[in-house]
A and B are shown apart, each in its own frame.
Chain A
Amino acid sequence: MTVLPGSVAANSHCFNNPRKGGSDLEGGTGYPRFSWCGDACLVAEFGDKIDPLINSMVRDLDLRIRGLKLPWLVETVPTYRSLAVYVDPWDSPREEVELAVTSLAREVKAKTMPSVAVVEIPVCYGGDFGPDLERVSMYTALGPDDIIRLHSSKLYRVYMMGFTPGFPYLGGMDPRLETPRLEDPRTLIPAGSVGIAGKQTGIYPIASPGGWNIIGRTPLVLFDPAGASPFLLEAGMEIRFVPVTGERFEEILSGNGA
């Protein structure tokens, strides 16, 4: 078996060229870049910004690693620009993990990955479901109808999931909708709430506290722990918000319960 220089990750906590013995963080500007985050997680980074192409490379590596059924692999977590590869710290051949991840990462091509699926998310905007639509309107100087039109006209990429179970980090919001977070976060935001925070938009999958500007709510269930597939969304999907009336919201909601 080819063995990586064992001292690479030991002496410098970041390496980007294992075959040459690695380089430290200051010296290494090249990507992909690899580092251990604790002893149970090897991270491969493809860049340092939120960018569809960089995120595609993360997904590409994720699919390659998950496709191999590696015995030491616990799970992977794709993020905007990096892939976290979790291994069993008690029982993983560290050199083998490094070799597998670094060599697979080098095969990754800088090309946009096709979307996994486009999911339509019905949203009832404004009213009780969107208490901050007014606030966004005041901040952006756009009328509520324009906000709804702009928010529902785009395709959003699910870059990553995190924060709470089933929460999608979305990219692609119209910059005209940018609104800062509430100064005083709410203690409880109902599940399904759709909000805007700075440059981001997102959906709360479970009731939780939060400081986002809530502009509407979807009747869809994003997270159902008892379900056969507990999560509606995954990284790599694209979503589109579809405005619906309060009546339609109730119809879909009762359909969920059936």
Chain B
Amino acid sequence: MERDGLSVEIISPGVLSTVQDLGRYGFQAFGMPVAGALDRYSLMVGNLVVGNDLRSAGLEITISGPELLFRSERLVCITGGDLSPKINDRDVPVWQGLMLHEKDVLSFGGARNRGARSWICIGGGIDTPPVMGSRSTYLRGGLGGHEGRRLERGDILPLGAPDIFSRRGEGFVVPRELRQNYIERPVIRVIPDPREALIAPEGVECFYTSSYRIGPDSDRMGYRLQGPLIRHKESPDMISDAVPWGAIQVPGNGLPIIMMADCQTTGGYPKIAGVISADLGLLSMMLPGDHLSFRRCAVTEAADASRALKGDLERVRVLLADHRSRPGAPSLGIPADNGAMLLKFGGEIFDVTWRII
């Protein structure tokens, strides 16, 4: 089968665009970072809207987005921050099911102080070959995604086959309260780490009472923070142990680093605290120069926050199901005999014998 048509072409790549899914798990014991979308929630909601498996790969785009030429008709949902998306130069909203036709161009005008990153989810998902069970790009290791690197002009990304109901998500709008919104000067919730004992008490106090700024040399591996110095009790060196995403290390220079999705799996600097999973998405929205502060929270509060986020995802699922079932929703296909349907995708006709029960 000719597959050339089932793809997206990169006309221009933007600042940093990579293929990401929910991450590469199972190999941290061998030193392999998990990588994956910096906001799992945004990626999952986008996938849901376009009818994909939640684990499908989308594009993570940064600050100024790419320009993409669609060679195949697909439902698209852009989640995360608002980088001013346009279809054929016409402004379109984020967090909404958008139909792109063959030869349509999706481009971005850039961030308007509404979040640093977006995720572009496309019906059928991006079908680059999985590496060690994931399509996530791990930039420093040069693996996963599209040839293990950031996207470049002329790259052609293969797309998978969309779900038969994908198109029915057209026009679906994710309610504002169920979106990952950009928040100015967020207070990030953290769980204190036992290694806090290696930090001087006034250093710990300083960490929780100060405002920190995200430094210019921050990336998917870690956010380097600028602000008041945090003093250690004695030596900042300790025996290396595991470093999860969200761990906040304090190296010898006293400036904290928040470890992000591409962080190394082990490290030898004391960790003062760990960002709760539910707040990692807020960090993904932030740019160098943005300010944030930290608040202690209990593991129980973190669990409640995660449960709430999961509830939000379920709520999107319910609302989407309702939207898809509306009679006014764009028609799925041409009714065929025998309760089956003929489905038309990107110029190809599939005869799917799918009985409506």
User: When the two chains form their complex, are residues A77 and B28 in contact, meaning their CB atoms are under 8 A apart?
Assistant: yes
Indicate if A241 sits at the interface (CB-CB under 8 A): no
User: When the two chains form their complex, are residues A40 and B277 in contact, meaning their CB atoms are under 8 A apart?
Assistant: yes
User: When the two chains form their complex, are residues A39 and B306 in contact, meaning their CB atoms are under 8 A apart?
Assistant: yes
User: When the two chains form their complex, are residues A161 and B300 in contact, meaning their CB atoms are under 8 A apart?
Assistant: no
Which of B271, B275, B303 gathers the greatest number of chain A CB atoms within 10 Å? B303
Within the complex, the shortest CB–CB distance from B46 to chain A, in Å, comes to 17
Within the complex, the shortest CB–CB distance from B192 to chain A, in Å, comes to 5
Indicate if B265 sits at the interface (CB-CB under 8 A): yes
Other-chain contact of B241, A10, A43, A86, A90 (Cβ < 8 Å): A43
Interface string of A197-209 (1 = CB under 8 A from B): 0000000011000
User: When the two chains form their complex, are residues B29 and A78 in contact, meaning their CB atoms are under 8 A apart?
Assistant: yes
Q: What is the interface of chain A mostly: helix, strand, loop, or mixed?
A: loop
Indicate if B27 sits at the interface (CB-CB under 8 A): yes
Indicate if B16 sits at the interface (CB-CB under 8 A): no
Within the complex, the shortest CB–CB distance from A92 to chain B, in Å, comes to 8
User: When the two chains form their complex, are residues A43 and B242 in contact, meaning their CB atoms are under 8 A apart?
Assistant: yes
Indicate if A6 sits at the interface (CB-CB under 8 A): yes
Count how many chain B residues have C-beta atoms less than 8 Å from C-beta atoms of the other chain: 48
Other-chain contact of B302, A39, A48, A49, A162 (Cβ < 8 Å): A39
Within the complex, the shortest CB–CB distance from A152 to chain B, in Å, comes to 24
Indicate if A184 sits at the interface (CB-CB under 8 A): no
- A residues in contact with B242, CB < 8 Å: 37, 41, 43, 77, 79, 82, 84
Within 8 A of A (CB), among B237-254: 239-242, 244-247
Other-chain contact of A86, B197, B244, B275 (Cβ < 8 Å): B244
User: When the two chains form their complex, are residues A75 and B244 in contact, meaning their CB atoms are under 8 A apart?
Assistant: no
Interface string of B278-313 (1 = CB under 8 A from A): 100000000000000000001111110011011000
Q: Please give the residue numbers on chain B whose beta carbons come within 8 Å of chain A beta carbons, in ascending order.
A: 25-33, 131-132, 140-141, 143, 191-194, 196-197, 239-242, 244-247, 264-267, 271, 274-278, 298-303, 306-307, 309-310
Given contacts A25-B196, A162-B31, A164-B140, 8 further A-B contacts (CB under 8 A): A9-B299, A14-B194, A39-B299, A80-B239, A90-B310, A163-B266, A165-B33, A231-B30
Interchain residue pairs A-B with the least CB separation, the first 8: A38-B274, A162-B266, A84-B242, A39-B302, A89-B277, A10-B298, A79-B241, A41-B244
Q: Please give the residue numbers on chain A whose beta carbons come within 8 Å of chain B beta carbons, in ascending order.
A: 6-7, 9-11, 13-14, 25-26, 33, 35-41, 43, 48-50, 74-82, 84, 86, 89-91, 94, 160-167, 169, 205-206, 225-226, 230-231, 234-235
- Selected A-B contacts with CB under 8 Å, 7 pairs: A7-B300, A25-B196, A39-B277, A82-B242, A167-B31, A225-B131, A234-B29
